[in-house]
Amino acid sequence: MDGDRIIVKKILLMGNPNNGKSVVFNRLTGADVIISNYPGTTVDFTQGKMRIDEEDMMVMDVPGTYSLDAGDKAERVAVKMLKDGDIVVNVVDATNLEKSLNLTVQLLKKKTPMIIALNFWDETKHKGIAIDFQKLEEILGVPCIPICAVTGEGIKKLTERLKEAKISKFSYEDKEKWHVIGDIIGQVQKLSHRHHTFMERLGDISTIPLFGIPLALVILFFTFKIIRFIGEGLIGYVFEPVFEKLWSPLLLKFSAVLGSDGLIHDVLIGKLIEGKIDYGQSFGLLTTGLFVPIGAVLPYVFAFYIILSVLEDCGYLPRLAVLVDGLMHRLGIHGLAIIPMMLGLGCNVPGILSTRILATRRERFIAATLLSIAVPCAALQAMVVGLMGKHMVFGLSVVYGTLFVVWVVLGILMDRLVSGTSPEIFIEIPPYRRPYLTDLLKKIWIRMKWFIKEAIPFVLLGVFIVNILYTLGIIQFVGKYTAPVVSGIFGLPKEAIGALLVGFLRKDVAVGMLAPLALNLKQLIIASVVLTMYFPCIATFSILIKELGFVDMLKASAIMIASALIVGGMLNLIL
Amino acid sequence: MNERISLADMQSGQKGRIVQIDGGGGMTRRLDALGLRVGKKIQKVSKQLMRGPVIVSHGNARVAVGFGMTQRIWMEIE
């Protein structure tokens, strides 16, 4: 019966980070691609399918590594994946042969059939690099194919020669590695003198603080303008109309079938507000529960993934990480933690998911906690802006200023108190490159699929649990006993507790509920800061449990409540 | 005899050769993976405020190195 088994060959794409490996991956695979988590790690990789000569093959985009022995988590996963691979496609950066060959020669020793794709072949010409790829093929003993992944040149040749992949006889002594690499380069590469291009100069000066910091501020400003434009546009013109015009009528019929009342009705539909479904206040699993992740969160996540993918593909993100690393390092996190923070300003959920890029558990805890305390999401920010009305400039300055101080002070404290290590930044800065639309679209598509799979089930579960707590009256009970805190410490009217309770589900709606309370400017500021800090919304909370585990989530929550009490109380005294 | 200083103390734009790395196997291996090793000629491209990372170039590659690490990389200036 063994003959019936379908054996699918596994093709591993391996190479350094930033060498266009994922573009090669996109070229080889179709739309059916998914991001998977390597079991037992925080490392994600992408896989898809391709078909050659009627044979289905699995293509895996192995996490980018520079070496196989430096021991970081991506490398450990790469080494493990290598064991189950049938063919290795080693993507090499032709503009940076020395760095790439370091990994190549280590891969050759692993004795898996291999083929080499020399990417960025077009760029070598501008950079005055001439590589004799046939000679390289002769020396290394595996096929070497020049390609330009973004335009697709050479990809056909690569797939045709895939079956020629073979185990190399090339060998060397480990301590002679760099001599061997130097030797190979001496034989195959000729450099001619040339001047630096404009893009290279721009690449270098955007890491010089005097120019780089103003540039970063301009880029961040436009990032948020564009994200709000796309996010609010999608919500206002697509998601809300779909929910209200198509989904609500169905739910109202369903509500009538359930008899407009009772436990099941309360859990699924929630309360009808004046006979209608209000996605902000009904709190049913099918009403607010579906609307939060899909109607309110997804559009911002989509908008953010667009911008993030553009900044990533053009090579700006590592430069931003370098500019902010000096500050971030004092908060116990890496410059790259700027990515979760930026995502968090759109929606905290993808922000927390993206803390996976950080190397250690300590960094992830600090980043996730700072994010959920002091980084307000786009929906919340939009409501706060609206609430401030004519006091906008002063009010917002105080709110954002306070949150920034909290972010820094809490970070410094956690850096002192949280055990574990935060490694120093050590990353490659790739040259600026033009992003390509097809790759961007595919990347965004893969990320959205991943987000829906990773986040939405947890958010729904969280909403379900809060719903039950509401229906059983537990949350109202907590509210009754915490109302004195709200008035005593924060100086807010007792009714504001209603908003804080709703804030578990949706912070933007909670801010909206403050509007009829006729708060003065001081109270508005305190309420906005406290609402941001006191607790994450249920979507974020669910993801915190998923990513940090229950115990660390409890620690993070304790820090949130304590700092909200302290900061809110201090603002009440100072202002 | 050429001047010998740490990468942290080098000026932006200066070129030099790495002569010594004061670090354990872990740090040496990480540096090695990105092409920074004893004997390598590099140029310091830029540095950051608040003892932030240093960017160095070699060939067409640019690498950002944390400040703490740059204090332990010794250079001979050309």
Average confidence (pLDDT) over A546-554: 93
**B24 Cβ under 8 Å from any chain A Cβ:** no
Which candidate in B34, B37, B57, B69 is best for mutational testing of the A interface (most A CBs within 10 A)?
A: B34
Which is more confident, A566 or A467?
Answer: A566
Rounded distance, CA A9 to CA A424, Å? 39
pLDDT digits (tens, 9 = 90+) for A403-443: 999 999 999 999 999 998 888 999 999 999 888 888 899 88
Partners of residue A96 in chain B, C-beta under 8 Å: 59-61
Average confidence (pLDDT) over B19-35: 89
Average confidence (pLDDT) over A484-508: 84
- Residue A6: the pLDDT is 59
**B64 Cβ under 8 Å from any chain A Cβ:** yes
When pLDDT is cut at 50, 70 and 90, the band that residue A144 belongs to is very high
CA quadruple A478, A484, A487, A490: dihedral sign: negative
Out of A177-186, A453-462, A515-524, give the one with best mean pLDDT: A177-186
Pick B4-77's CATH classification: 3.90.1280.10, 2.30.30.90, 3.50.50.60, 3.30.70.260: 2.30.30.90
CA distance B2 to chain A (A): 25
- Residue A70: the pLDDT is 64
Does residue A367 have a pLDDT over 80?
yes
When pLDDT is cut at 50, 70 and 90, the band that residue A1 belongs to is very low
When pLDDT is cut at 50, 70 and 90, the band that residue A174 belongs to is confident
Residue numbers of A between 90 and 149 with CB closer than 8 Å to B: 95-96, 98-99, 102, 127, 129
pTM: predicted TM-score of the whole model, two decimal places: 0.88
pLDDT digits (tens, 9 = 90+) for A94-134: 999 999 999 999 999 999 999 999 999 999 988 889 999 99
Task: Evaluate whether A297 touches A232 at the Cβ level (below 8 Å).
Answer: no
Does residue A196 have a pLDDT over 50?
yes
When pLDDT is cut at 50, 70 and 90, the band that residue A2 belongs to is very low
Rounded distance, CA A149 to CA A147, Å? 6
Q: Go through the domains of chain A in sequence order and give each one's CATH number.
A: 2-194 (3.40.50.300), 209-574 (no CATH)
Which candidate in A131, A206, A322 is best for mutational testing of the B interface (most B CBs within 10 A)?
A: A322
Average confidence (pLDDT) over A352-360: 91
Chains A, B: CB pairs < 8 Å: 111
Rounded distance, CA A212 to CA A322, Å? 10
CA nearest to B52 within chain A: A326
Residue numbers of B between 34 and 63 with CB closer than 8 Å to A: 34-35, 37, 45-46, 48-53, 55, 57, 59-63
Query: Which range, of A17-21, A69-73, A422-426, B47-51, averages the lowest pLDDT?
Result: A69-73
Q: Which of B30, B45, B48 is facing A426, going by the closest CB pair?
A: B30
Which candidate in A429, A432, A433 is best for mutational testing of the B interface (most B CBs within 10 A)?
A: A429
List the one residue out of A523, A524, A534 whose CA is nearest residue A566.
A534
Query: Which range, of A245-254, A365-374, A496-505, B55-64, averages the lowest pLDDT?
Result: A496-505
CA distance B1 to chain A (A): 26
- ipTM over the 0.90 cut-off: yes
**A428 Cβ under 8 Å from any chain B Cβ:** yes
Average confidence (pLDDT) over B19-30: 89
Q: Which of B29, B37, B59 is facing A96, going by the closest CB pair?
A: B59
Q: What is the DSSP string of A365-428?
A: HHHHHHHHHH---HHHHHHHHHHHGGGHHHHHHHHHHHHHHHHHHHHHHHHHHS-S--PPPEEE
The structure tokens 């009342």 sit at A261
Average confidence (pLDDT) over A155-184: 92
DSSP collapsed to 3 states, A178-234: HHHHHHHHHHHEEECCCCCCHHHHHHHHCCCHHHHHHHHHHHHHHHHHHHHHHHHHH
State the virtual CA torsion across A323, A428, A334, A80 in degrees, nearest 10.
Answer: 160
- The DSSP bridge pattern shows strands A144-146 and A87-93 to be unpaired
Rounded distance, CA A476 to CA A470, Å? 7
A34: amino acid identity, one letter: I
Mean pLDDT, all residues of chain B? 91
pLDDT digits (tens, 9 = 90+) for A441-479: 988 998 898 888 887 787 788 877 877 887 788 888 888
